[in-house]
């Protein structure tokens, strides 16, 4: 590949998109999702896309859409402009040397570089990440309206549409008794073909978590995601639990994954490309989990379609996905920003077959929803 193909521009655009309903997690209720879209252009005319998206501004993780834009504009772009666009790993080595942390920003830029290179080679991005094992992925849905009856109606409608049959319930904002009642009521109301998991987003203390997990198991819940913060408490809960425990927030890249497998902190790892620090970093987390005999799951930061399809391109190559993925982020948004929407059908996301990410932005939607300096609104932080 010619070394004369250069990176000529890196554009960042913050989009603010409404959600179809309030989405309540233990730390925040979202009414909109904000995403920083990266558009990277090369001297051969090829363009690639990336996305940096968080949940609830700074409520969930250490980066915000505004911070991602600033990090890329002020620190990452100056490093990359004029560099060889065909050497993705070398470009990202430069970024890692000069920029500490900032995993979400790095992921967005790496995705755009990979999208370009895959388009240049005329292959789907999955082929640069080890190759596909499948063309579709099972997609769970999150019930998080904050109301049990509404959640039941929502789940039933999605089952009827054959869109989702695995449901993750967001708990931890209310008392444990209320949460257990909520889970038990939903489990009871839905048919056996539906599976129920919960995500506590670290809201419990270890002592109460032991009792709560036992009660969740009795209520028919199949898996508990990140009930407490920290690898050591998670490991103690995993040892004691009769149902599977999934790690999410503690997995912030390969080093943390090594610590987590050494402690046997969980039965399942939620792989998030942004939290891991990019697609290659997430691939390392997957390799560590697989080597240690821990199951792999495709997690989301509720990304829009660009981040979602980037994660899907990686997960399409994972050998076993016993818990599937939760790549439903685009379906939580009222607006479509792609030329051709992603295809969710028969409980699965069908991967595009085209080169790179396989998707294109709808330019009208991008200008309509781009923030253009408007102040953020629509977030309510819990507590």
Should residue 274 be labelled a site residue for Mg ion when binding is judged by CB under 5 A?
no
Should residue 326 be labelled a site residue for ligand MUC when binding is judged by CB under 6 A?
yes
Residue 300 binds what, of Mg ion, ligand MUC, none (CB under 5 to 8 Å, by partner type)? ligand MUC
Should residue 201 be labelled a site residue for ligand MUC when binding is judged by CB under 6 A?
yes
**Which of 49, 61, 65 has its CA nearest to residue 15?**
65
**Which of 133, 131, 56 has its CA nearest to residue 320?**
133
Rounded to a whole number of angstroms, the minimum distance from the CB of residue 328 to ligand MUC is 8
* Catalytic residue list contains 170: yes
* Residues 58-77, interacting with ligand MUC (CB under 6 A): none
For residues 302 to 321, the per-residue mask of contacts with Mg ion, x marking binding by CB under 5 A and - elsewhere, is --------------------
CB atoms within 10 A of CB 191: 9
Beta bridge partners of 338: 361
Which range touches Mg ion (CB under 5 A), out of 11-19, 147-155, 220-228, 235-243? 220-228
Q: How many residues does the chain have?
A: 383
Rounded to a whole number of angstroms, the minimum distance from the CB of residue 292 to ligand MUC is 21
Dist. CA 179–CA 341, nearest whole Å: 35
Q: For residues 41 and 323, which CB has a smaller minimum distance to ligand MUC in the complex?
A: 323
Rounded to a whole number of angstroms, the minimum distance from the CB of residue 196 to ligand MUC is 14
Choose, by CB under 6 A, the member of 302, 310, 321, 342 that binds ligand MUC.
302
Task: Give the containing element (helix H, strand E) for 36.
Answer: strand 28-42
Dist. CA 108–CA 11, nearest whole Å: 11
Strand 47-53 and strand 136-138: the pairing is unpaired
Dist. CA 334–CA 365, nearest whole Å: 12
Choose, by CB under 6 A, the member of 248, 274, 303, 348 that binds ligand MUC.
248
Residue 348 binds what, of Mg ion, ligand MUC, none (CB under 5 to 8 Å, by partner type)? none
Where does residue 82 rank: exposed (0-12), middle (13-18), buried (19+ CB within 10 A)?
Answer: exposed
Choose, by CB under 5 A, the member of 16, 51, 151, 199 that binds Mg ion.
199
Rounded to a whole number of angstroms, the minimum distance from the CB of residue 304 to ligand MUC is 13
Q: For residues 105 and 145, which CB has a smaller minimum distance to ligand MUC in the complex?
A: 145
Task: Report yes or no: 194 and 222 within 8 Å, Cβ to Cβ.
Answer: no
DSSP 112-156: HHHHHHHHHHTSBGGGGGT--S-SEEEB-EEE-SS-HHHHHHHHH
Choose, by CB under 6 A, the member of 144, 176, 190, 250 that binds ligand MUC.
144
Choose, by CB under 6 A, the member of 34, 126, 142, 241 that binds ligand MUC.
142
- How many residues belong to the site for ligand MUC (CB under 6 A)? 12
Q: Report the alpha-carbon angle 378-382-383, nearest 5.
A: 135
Should residue 199 be labelled a site residue for ligand MUC when binding is judged by CB under 6 A?
yes
Should residue 299 be labelled a site residue for ligand MUC when binding is judged by CB under 6 A?
yes
Q: For residues 55 and 261, which CB has a smaller minimum distance to ligand MUC in the complex?
A: 55
- How many CA within 13 A on the CB side of residue 321? 22
Q: Which of 69, 106, 168, 170 is catalytic?
A: 170
**Which of 204, 212, 253 has its CA nearest to residue 230?**
204
Contact residues for Mg ion, defined by CB under 5 A: 199, 225, 248
Residues within the interface to ligand MUC (CB under 6 A): 25, 55, 142, 144, 170, 199, 201, 248, 299-300, 302, 326
Residues annotated as catalytic (active site), given as ranges: 170
């Amino acid at each position: 590949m010619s070394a004369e193909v250069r990176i000529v521009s890196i554009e960042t655009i913050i989009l603010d998109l409404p959600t179809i309903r309030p989405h309540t997690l233990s730390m925040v209720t979202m009414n909109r999702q904000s995403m920083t879209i990266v558009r990277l252009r090369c001297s051969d005319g090829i363009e690639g896309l990336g996305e940096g998206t968080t949940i609830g501004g700074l409520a969930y993780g250490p980066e915000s859409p505004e911070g991602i834009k600033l990090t890329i504009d002020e620190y990452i772009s100056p490093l990359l402009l004029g560099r060889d666009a065909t050497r993705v790993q070398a470009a990202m080595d430069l970024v890692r040397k000069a920029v500490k942390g900032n995993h979400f920003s790095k992921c967005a830029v790496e995705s755009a570089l990979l999208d370009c290179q895959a388009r240049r080679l005329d292959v789907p991005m999955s082929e640069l990440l080890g190759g596909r094992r499948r063309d579709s992925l099972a997609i769970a849905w999150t019930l998080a309206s904050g109301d049990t009856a509404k959640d039941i109606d929502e789940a039933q409608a999605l089952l009827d549409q054959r869109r989702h049959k695995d449901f993750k319930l967001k708990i931890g904002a209310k008392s444990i008794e209320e949460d257990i009642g909520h889970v038990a009521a939903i489990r009871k109301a839905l048919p056996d073909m539906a599976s129920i998991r919960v995500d506590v987003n670290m809201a419990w203390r270890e002592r109460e978590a032991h009792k709560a997990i036992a009660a969740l198991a009795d209520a028919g819940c199949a898996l508990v995601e990140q009930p407490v913060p920290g690898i050591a408490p998670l490991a103690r809960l995993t040892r004691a639990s009769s149902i599977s425990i999934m790690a999410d927030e503690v997995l912030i890249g390969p080093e943390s994954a090594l610590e987590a497998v050494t402690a046997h902190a969980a039965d399942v790892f939620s792989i998030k490309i942004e939290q891991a620090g990019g697609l290659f970093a997430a691939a390392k987390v997957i390799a560590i989990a697989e080597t240690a005999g821990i199951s792999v799951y495709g997690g989301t930061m509720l990304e829009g379609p660009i981040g979602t399809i980037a994660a899907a391109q990686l997960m399409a190559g994972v050998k076993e996905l016993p818990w599937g993925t939760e790549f439903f982020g685009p379906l939580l948004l009222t607006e479509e920003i792609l030329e051709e929407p992603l295809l969710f059908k028969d409980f699965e996301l069908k991967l595009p077959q085209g080169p790179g990410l396989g998707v294109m932005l709808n330019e009208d939607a991008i200008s309509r929803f781009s923030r253009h300096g408007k102040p953020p609104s629509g977030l309510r932080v819990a507590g």
